[in-house]
Structure 1
Amino acid sequence: MALPKTPDSNPVDYIDEEDFIALEIPWEASGERLDKVLAGALPDYSRNRLKTWVEAGAVTVDGKVTRARYLLRGGESVKVYPQEMPEQFAFQAEDIPLDVVHEDASLIVINKPAGLVVHPAAGNWSGTLLNGLLFRYPELVQLPRAGIVHRLDKETSGLMVVARTDLAQTALVRQLQERTVGRRYLAWVWGTPAAQGKIQAMVARDQRDRLKMAVHSIQGKPAITLYRRLANGHFAQAPVSLLECRLETGRTHQIRVHLESLGFPLLGDPVYRKKAPNVAKELPLYRQALHAYALSLIHPESKQVVQWYRLPPDDLNALLPAVGMTAADLPDEPKLETPLAS
């Protein structure tokens, strides 16, 4: 409900030196919830934001802090003290350690640790890879998303490429669209998949849980994952396999969703774990066992195929003896090849 205006008055009276917005609630608003009336009176702010301010005590009604669902009587004096929101600081530089594998005038390759969010979003407005990039490479503030062209899940480790120029960013985005960026992952899964396979299944937002993705036969976007089994092992008599996965598309949670759909969820995955054995809770791992170990692409300047390779971090190396595997089961650096050979 919007507050009525008259020729000589405005429901939003002023923002004075003390930085609050003064409102007089009209009698017609009697019986309305405070957050609803505020949303109508202050359209520049979202209802969720205003509700957050009310619950934080930054809104007073007749000088008293109240709740968002407070029912107004009409005639009250309301003061709103706008609060800085976390997203206002999303693109600030922060001194975050980065494992830089390669850098040149066109691009940067990062070996991202597990636990690092790539891009600011709700719940993670700071402390992200983007914030760290802006600290180390201030010029990236001129590029969309600070040059980031693809992402890894927060708890997935491994190689990512970041553009340093407009031309490089355009070229890398085009390569991703044309599927000429080679991305290889190591994935430890429960069970024993076939020696190799191709998973071709649509991936879409899960209709029952909007924080998850799911395989759908009709809805969603096409997604293709190639895999081959590198080693077999076990944990507490439950079979475990080490897979090399290659992406032909890059959908959100693609490898995790695809492998779970076949009945082979990743070890340590807290979200996609259907058919994980009962012993999964005893596993000494606290994130999904997924590492982007090899990255290849056509360099935007030289036009040559280039490749980078990084073995898994300490937590996944420590997993090997626990599942009956050794470092000898890990793959060597892949042969340099034009991406997309399947």
Structure 2
Amino acid sequence: MSAESVDFTAGPLDRDATFYVAGHRGLVGSAIWRHLESLGFTGLVGRTSAELDLKDRAAVAAFLAETKPRYVVLAAAKVGGILANDTYPVDFLTDNLQIQVNVMDAAVDAGVERLMFLGSSCIYPKFAEQPIREDSLLTGHLEPTNDAYAIAKIAGIMHVQSVRRQYGLPWISAMPTNLYGPGDNFSPKGSHVLPALIRRYDEAVQNGASTVENWGTGAPRREFLHVDDLAAAVLHLMEHHDGPAQVNVGTGTDVTIKEIAETIASVVGFEGETKWDSSKPDGTPQKLLDVTKLADAGWTSQIGLEDGLRSTIEWYRENSAHLRE
């Protein structure tokens, strides 16, 4: 590997530099792409999974050697909800490890100056003290339904820290809370809780159903961040933050799953009964991030939950005919 140490100086990134967004068609990557484009970044580079399989080590190395980006956001990942994570743990572990290792090793070889690795709040112990601080990492047992995915993301954090130690590159990591927004996965078998609820209640309205049944008790508390807020936070951190520890990205507030279900039902116009199947797993009882470090870096979320939900539901209804199953 041929990386050279780079001193980080806070300030605007070069708007004309080559900037690779890995996973630019996904929920997170597409939001980051839109945000960067809106701010005048002219050197954005992206490849679909059909054009570049990030699990193909040789292909990734060749791509980064050719494009030589100055900046990289690693937003590509295999993601899913409780059912998908619990059913296919091998896929979530191996796919994500391969993607991360391939992109970061190739980025070192290509001399990428600034890389942002994006993980997930599921990296923290299931019973971590709330709100969860960054130093809670590796202090307890993970939630078993998504431990394989979490381990892969923890490995990504360690990879970034290792690159900093061995090569002196000012790479950083950010761990978003639960995300939602345009471009989300609304598949019944692959989606996270919020898009799954949006689809379930909207279909109930379209079909004239009188009841909707949700998994669990509705008691767990979750924090939700609009993906456009995350995109703004990513650029802010790349321009203003440097340090080896991951940075939590969230709103600093949470709601129960029951409350979010009620809000979605109201927004889509569902007036029937909601039932809860308590035989199904709830997952982690609470996942609220401590966002003190993010606030100290000068950034706070701007999009309120109800406003974000309304725009997301509008996007879903406009695009539901073309979404993956």
The TM tier, using the shorter chain, reads under 0.3
Structure whose alpha-carbon radius of gyration is higher: 1
Going by fraction, where is strand more abundant, 1 or 2?
1
TM-score (norm 2): 0.24
